[in-house]
Structure 1
Amino acid sequence: MIYLDYQATTPLAPEALAAMLPWLETQHANPHAAHRAGRQAKAAVEVARDRIAAAMPAGGAPSFTSGATEALNWAIKGTTGPIVTLATEHAAVLDTVAAEARRGRAVVVLPVGRDGLVDLDRAAAAIRPGTGLVAAMLVNNEIGVIQPVAAIAALAQAAGAVMLCDAVQGYGRVALPADCDLMAMSAHKLHGPKGIGALWMRDGLSLEPLLHGGGQERAGRSGTLSPALCAGFGAAATLIAAEDADHVARLWARAVERLDGWTINGSVTQRYRGNLNVRRNGLDVARLMSECRDVAFSAGSACASGSGRPSHVLRAIGLSDGEARSSIRIGFGRYTTADELLAGLDAIVAAAARQGLA
């Protein structure tokens, strides 16, 4: 199997697995217990927290969660006041915002252009004094476009609003904006384990709890933490390095060359290059995926790809239903070799040619 679906999840780093194993095999103490074994487990959790925080802006710290979905729900439901967000946000944001709207909270969902980027003048008009929360994704999970989050955060700050950044696809891949108040992350998007994420919170900010109980985690999040998952997340965070970006840029150049004649969805310049969302008009994607069973790629975001609905992100950038349904997402990164990528793309191109789309 050639794996080209890095936006859905990334392969577990060997270093992350090694960090987890002791806490799965021989060290099983509850990190919230007061005895020596519990204190040792807690120390492992705090080491992991520090490693994750090292790549974050100064003046805040991450609280562990079960994943980015919980982190985003907590950030949105834990704040008050009108919300401004973007039409291309992840469902974990848009669905939570919609739930808040049903409870009477005012919501503005800003459109994006054909390039997938928000118009900052429209954002400035919407983010006014009295706005409670502004939510924007740093790197889009479907098309890889990098939003101008720093500029959006400046607008939020000027309006007195809390700025939430969905940094799930950006953490460890692109520079993080310094002026956000909340950032959501997920370990399995950066070669860590599934089942753990974090919500970074600026010092001095408080949120209403999403989960009530023992309040074990900082900032009041309840639930017993897994030292194994925390250790794996922390180990993965220490592997963030510039050489990943250089490797991805080289793969991108090879991929674009091999997919000559395909159209790239979203901005070609302002994007993370490990995400290649492309289309060929008339392409039968279901047939393509059936004929390329030895290549793992996506017809859309993993959480919605089984719904049968065209991608809301591709529709938001102005694609027709037909164009959206003729698009695929190819994701690659640290462990992808050039030979693997080109072999996978050759299989995709050949399958498309059998549909008369050479």
Structure 2
Amino acid sequence: MIEIKVNTVKGYKVLISKGLICEAGNYVNLISPARKIMVISDEKVAKLYGTKLLSSLEKAGLDACIYPIKVGEKSKNIGTYVQIVRDMAAREYTRKDALIALGGGVVGDITGFVASTYMRGIDFIQIPTTLLSAIDAAIGGKNGIDLPEGKNYVGTFYQPKLVLCDTDTFRDLPNEEKINGIGEGIKYAVLAGGEILEILEKGLDESNEDRFLELCIKYKASVVENDERERGNRMILNLGHTMGHAIEKLSKYTVPHGLAVVKGLYMLITAPGAVALAKHERERIINLIKKYKFDVTVPYKCGDLLSAARNDKKAEPGNKINIVTVKGIGNCELVNLSQDELCRFFGHDPNRKIN
């Protein structure tokens, strides 16, 4: 088993191993006084692992139930949030009880938000069941729900008590969901370089998956520990996300998050304004994207993308937008540009489609 300590203000451990869902009840008893547990999951994941998790919790003497939500980003809204907290109130959950997020990023985000606000805060545990959520949403304590105006407009910073990465769940992922996680992994490869990049270039498989998870999680943890509430350098983790979130929004969330991040990253490294990035490093990143057969087309006008990005949380006063640029592998920089400056950076007329 791999154990990682995340040293935030309220620190916690991330465990990586097979079979952790079957042991979840014992781990909950070690880190929380809760006797009642609500498991929030989506309908698909609940069918796969819900019974197994409930059995583990009940064997550990816990009173557990499961609350399934619909699959997909569209469930991460204020209506779903209100339904969950009202159900908890009806079941008489108290501050001493706890939640478990069993699923991907959508489930993790809304569960964390419920935990941080129900009775002003109760314990919660993350059990990510996708590669993407294991290296991204489950780590760092960012929780939230979406508004029509954009992703995660309403949210909190609230850390889990524990993260259990049961790698058995990754065996059941369809190939497109594995690739979705690799998309987020490519972000880490560009940010950190080194062994993360080398693993992805070699090819991610079961032989190096645990090590890949460990490296990505440790990298994110190291950034979060120094800027837990994202007031500065934590924004570097948004590489590819400024345009990525805009692409997701314009597609009405039909483009998966990991793919959108890769599209956003590809726009950055191929932009005329990316003059600091050496040709051989640009080619290395492009070859990595090609290796996993990512579709990098962006069928939206530059102006529409920038308008969507301006309504995202990455916007700043003065009609400026935060964006992470790539000066080199392992050398990325957060910059703050106006819409006109971004159009010049990308070399596009606002009314012309990207590609």
Query: TM-score interval w.r.t. the shorter chain?
Result: 0.3 to 0.5
Bigger fraction of residues in helix: 2
Asked which structure has the greater RCO (Cα within 8 Å, sep 6+), the reply is 1
TM-score normalised according to structure 1 size: 0.39
Bigger fraction of residues in strand: 2
TM-score normalised according to structure 2 size: 0.39
